Amino acid sequence: MVDSRSDQNLKPVADLWYSIEAFESNILLLRETHIDPYAVGDIWIVRGRDCDLVVDTGSGKVNPAPLVETIAAKPVTAIVLNASYDHAGGWHNFSERLCHPLDAVMLETFDVESAEVFDYLNDATLKAFPVAGYQLTDYSLTRASPTHTVDEGDVIDLGDRRLRVMHVPGRSPGGLALWEETSGCLFTSDMLYDGDHGLAWPPEDPVAYCASLRRFRELPVRRVYPGHYGLFERERMIEIIDTEIALLEQG
């Protein structure tokens, strides 16, 4: 909802920053609806008996932790599947933080310039301001260290559900995906989504990227929970993977 106009450049000021949507398998989606989905990542909350897992943390333009912790009403752990601003911007706000060791280095040193934030998050993609008087350049990244690192084969146990960690480089050296075998749910962040890549194409390491996509293809995935543009089913996953591998291998 938008209720007023900032007087600086006529962008509206958002009343509510996050939308919340519930999906099967006890998974919630938090989305920063006033940023184009190309320029901000989706935040997934996987609800467990003993702990809720936050998969990616958005831009951090508005701290997501209080809302997530209120919804969870139990301990919360936040994992970032890659170290870019649109997934890791809110990560420092959580007290339990997971990432891959190779991305930890980036999360401990990143800033808006090195992360090329304003190539993506700019006047065209930001549709409203979080507070009156806000300016685009007010956005900054807060560095943080993980409380634990995770790597290929590790299991995140939420009490009644277990997610296996996959190390899937190609965009970020420490890129991760999460696979829940019992539900057939795969969380892919920037490694696989159904929509425009824009400046994020081609991926940083095309060979590693294709190898990671092939790993996804071999899993009995039922539904993909990606980093942008919303979820999709297995059939669409196969189409996207085959198209992207063909594009990169021909190019």
Asked if residue 56 binds Zn ion (CB under 5 A), the reply is: no
| Other Cβ atoms closer than 10 A to 40 | 26
Asked if residue 86 binds Zn ion (CB under 5 A), the reply is: yes
Q: How far is the CB of 85 from Zn ion (least distance, A)?
A: 9
Question: Which of 28, 21, 17, 19 minimizes the C-alpha distance to 72?
Answer: 28
Asked if residue 103 binds Zn ion (CB under 5 A), the reply is: no
Asked if residue 146 binds Zn ion (CB under 5 A), the reply is: no
Residue pair 151/101 in contact by the 8 Å Cβ criterion: yes
Q: Which is nearer to Zn ion, 31 or 161 (CB)?
A: 31
Q: How many of the chain's residues bind Zn ion (CB under 5 A)?
A: 4
CA–CA distances in Å: residue 73 to residues 20, 59, 69, 93, 170: 16, 23, 6, 17, 35
Asked if residue 60 binds Zn ion (CB under 5 A), the reply is: no
Which of 56, 103, 190, 244 is in the footprint of Zn ion by CB under 5 A? 190
Of the candidate spans 1-9, 40-48, 54-62, 171-179, the one that interacts with Zn ion by CB under 5 A turns out to be: 40-48
Q: Which is nearer to Zn ion, 47 or 190 (CB)?
A: 190
The amino acid at 186: L
Asked if residue 41 binds Zn ion (CB under 5 A), the reply is: yes
Q: Which is nearer to Zn ion, 81 or 144 (CB)?
A: 81
Distance CA 191, CA 149 (A): 19
In the chain the first and final C-alpha atoms are separated, in Å, by: 43
Q: Which residues bind Zn ion (CB under 5 A)?
A: 41, 86, 190, 227
